[in-house]
Structure 1
Amino acid sequence: MNQSIISTFLLFVLIAPIFGQMFYPKHKMTKKYFIITLKTVTWHEAFYHCRSIDMNLVSISSKAENDQIKQQIIDEGHIEFGQFWTSGTKLPDNSYKWLGIGKRVGFSDWFSGKPDNFNENDVNCIQILEKGKGWNNAPCNLKQHIICEQELIEYEYCNH
């Protein structure tokens, strides 16, 4: 009896993933960005504002994603609005981490000479500079505009 139950369980464990792929659609993760320019806020306020609307302060993982955000800033007419907060923050070892996704910053688009250690203990947050100049490390208590991001799942269904 026990051997029959174990055999049935093992058969299910081996075959279930095959059937799952037949009946469930393929999917990919994408991001949608929301640029908020109605008011300026500190980095901490920006972080909590995005979380309060079930989003994250933007994290940028690739050149393509960075270019997409810069283009959206231009397309939506926000190019003259100044700086925008990202979820990037400096760690004690002087590296940077995206708190929105919990990963270290890999790709970067630092403005020339940045990051710097001007007033070393005070420049811990990453901002996107005006007019697409790149990133800057800035004091977290500055008031900036916000870019929130929302992860979306796009499904692909079979059309047979």
Structure 2
Amino acid sequence: MKTSLALLFVVTLLIPGIKAVCCNDSWIPHNGHCYYIGYGTPLTFSAAQVYCHDRGAYLVRLDTLAENTFLKDLLKKTNAGNTWMGLTDRTHEGIWRWYDTNSHATFSDWGPGEPNSYGNRNDDCVHFYKSVDYKWNDSGCHNKFTPLCEKN
């Protein structure tokens, strides 16, 4: 075991761009981050935030299009349902920010006609929408979806 860890350490030092990450059981490693899908745990947006926080994580924050693509592919492969991410416009309508950092989203992957606050509702929270190939959809924060947690 010590030999394997030492070898991993040496390889990560010698090969630029490789990020070693050790994720706990049930967490999925990717590019220096760990992801956890809370299957069977439909929660409101606020409860999903707490759920991730209790695991030392936060609702997923998408920093790059490549990360978004990776997560969409993961959700498709696992046939996950609608899944929360940490994007919201609760503070200012139409200004989408990541709840954990208050930073603006640097790109988007909205489904057709989104965001739309459907039916003149106050849809302030965003999830991956299974019915539209896991593109982003704004939804009421009171709806219950699967949490997708991230830590690094």
Structure 1 residues 21-54: Cα deviation after superposition (integer angstroms, max 9, x where no partner): xxxx799672111111122010000011101111
Q: Between Structure 1 and Structure 2, which shows a larger proportion of helix residues?
A: 1
Q: Does 1:116 align with 2:116?
A: yes
Q: Distance in 2 between matches of 1:124 and 1:146?
A: 16
Q: Distance in 2 between matches of 1:41 and 1:146?
A: 7
C-alpha contact 2:72 2:134 (8 A) present in aligned 1: no
Offset of 1:113 from its aligned partner? 0.3
How many residue pairs get matched? 124
- Give the letter for the 1:87 counterpart: G
- Give the letter for the 1:134 counterpart: K
Unaligned 5+ residue runs, structure 2? 1-12, 20-30
- Give the letter for the 1:89 counterpart: T
Structure 1 residues 81-137: Cα deviation after superposition (integer angstroms, max 9, x where no partner): 421011101031521001133311111100010001335452000110115340000
Q: Does 1:92 align with 2:83?
A: no
Other-structure match for 1:103? 103
Other-structure match for 2:66? 64
- Give the letter for the 1:109 counterpart: D
Following TM superposition, where does structure 1 have runs of at least 4 consecutive aligned residues deviating by more than 4 angstroms? 25-29
Q: Larger radius of gyration, structure 1 or 2?
A: 1
Unaligned 5+ residue runs, structure 1? 1-24, 152-160
**Quick one: higher RCO (CA 8 Å, sep 6+), 1 or 2?**
1
Percent sequence identity is 23
Other-structure match for 1:30? 32
The TM-score, its normalising length taken from structure 2, stands at 0.73
RMSD of aligned residue pairs (Cα, Å): 2.1
